[in-house]
Amino acid sequence: MLNLNFYEQPTLDVAQTLLGKVLVRDIEGQRLRGIIVETEAYIGHEDTACHASKGRTPRTEVMFGPAGQTYVYLIYGMYWMLNVVTEAVDFPAAVLIRALEPTSGLEAMSQNRRLKKPTTRVLTNGPGKLCQALQIDDSLNKWDLSRGQALWIEAQHRKTNVEIACGPRINIDFAEPKDRNTPWRFWIKDNPFVSK
DNA sequence: CGCCAGATCCACT
DNA sequence: GTGGATCTGGCGG
């Protein structure tokens, strides 16, 4: 399991190193797992795409806190987003987990998704989808990922020789051009579970 | 396949 | 009151 030292590293390093690692969700003993295949970095006051650039508020407070905690928030009134907080206290930054390649608990994930036509491909290939599949909501906000309960990330890579691609972040039209263009979205090249 | 309306609610001006 | 780090199903080609 990844410890707090890992999450204290520079956010761009964490965002890329997380690719290929396994996110684990434990629900009363049943474990749902997926390999992280897509991430995005949100870094500091200057990054207008980062919620914390608007200042320290009750919602963004967790991003100013210690690394290794989750930042889970609601978007569009119905989808949860899972982030892991990075870097030092008082430096607000996080990595958004955008997509997983599901590896265990596929049947439970499929039920959680409540789709008309559930397919493996669409179970966790988006930030809102993966939270729905893994039953992640605000009850897991500010969760310590080093506790080894309910939600954590394994230390070892599941994929070897991972080729990483990068590009601009998705759906941040509200941000300034300099931040819209910054290539802070990372994914495993050619992986079929990357979003879009 | 692409396009898009609609869903739904909390944080914060 | 406004709008968002999204997604689904329905419709047309």
pLDDT tens figures, A47-62: 999 999 999 999 999 9
| Angstrom distance, A188 CA to C8 C1' | 26
Q: What is the mean pLDDT of chain A?
A: 97
Does the structure show a pLDDT above 90 at A196?
Answer: no
Nucleotides of C under 7 A from a protein CB: 3-10
Work out the average pLDDT over A158-178. 93
Question: Could you tell me the pLDDT band of residue A159, with boundaries at 50, 70 and 90?
Answer: confident
Nearest residue to A25 via CA among A110, A111, A109, A121: A109
Interface residues, strand C, Cβ cutoff 7 Å? A 40, 42, 49-51, 71, 74-79, 81, 83, 94, 96, 113, 115-117, 122, 126-130, 169-174, 195
Residues A181 and A93: their CA atoms lie apart, in Å, by 18
Identify the residue whose Cα has the smallest distance to the C1' of B11. Answer: A59
Does the structure show a pLDDT above 80 at A160?
Answer: no
Burial track A177-187 (b if 16+ CB lie within 10 A, e otherwise): eebeebebbbb
pLDDT tens figures, A61-91: 999 999 999 999 999 999 999 999 999 999 9
pLDDT at A48 (0 to 100): 98
Nucleotides of B under 7 A from a protein CB: 7-13
Contact A4, A94 (CB under 8 A): no
Residues A187 and A167: their CA atoms lie apart, in Å, by 9
Q: Which residue is listed with tokens 């070892």?
A: A156
| Entry pTM | 0.97
pLDDT tens figures, A11-44: 999 999 999 999 999 999 999 999 999 999 999 9
Which nucleotide's C1' sits nearest to the alpha carbon of A61?
B11
pLDDT at A134 (0 to 100): 98
